[in-house]
Structure 1
Amino acid sequence: MNDYYEFLPSGLLPETIDEALEAVMHVANRVLVKCSALSLAALKEGTPSISEIAVSLRLICRLVEDLQELGAPSDDIFTAAKAHEYTDHVEAIAKAIERGDEAGLKYEINELNSRSFIV
């Protein structure tokens, strides 16, 4: 379930809410790079799959949300919303891959690419 570790710099786990957002954005960027470079067939065979990565990201989003609700400090009150937004894009890419929808995949890649990736 935690296969996203390979996408994190130096395999480090986030220790703060803000680091968790950075991790989500970093993984989303790695997914973007991977999906831009590989064919749909190669993406379907990937391990971990983009769907598995999206599930891991969603778990991080829920954790961030819970921590913010408990009053954990964060530089931005919208951290959980931002994490969910980037995860939504990764999930949309995963669904396009699962459907074998090349046009949908290109569209979703462009949508994610339009994000700022600035924390």
Structure 2
Amino acid sequence: MKRKIFVAALLVCCVTVAFAAFADLTGKWKGTLKFGDNEIELNYTFKVDGENLTGSIGTGQGEFPITEGKIKGNDFTFSLDFNGNKIPNVGKYYGDSTIITQDFNGNKSKIKLTRIP
């Protein structure tokens, strides 16, 4: 009987820790996209709901919604529709920073994001 209670308590703790890892990505982030001699400041807003990721990306050209967002552990993916072009993004969450790799028409770029306090 004690073993069953211990196992049940352990499972509850593991689920709580896993959910907390997802929830930590929620919030505001900033980064800079560099290509050639150009730099674009980006502001991301992420919201995690279970394994779904939503939010938006703000640039000097406006706000763009995140679509098709998924999160699993510390890895996440989403798409961005920019002027009719679908841009897939793959990211890894590291606590107070993330690294996102974008693929825009075959050109891959990495963006390091830091949390905005």
Report which of the two has the higher share of strand.
2
In our comparison, the structure showing a higher alpha carbon Rg is 2
Return the TM-score normalized by structure 1. 0.26
- Larger relative contact order (Cα-Cα within 8 Å, sequence gap ≥ 6): 1
Report which of the two has the higher share of helix.
1
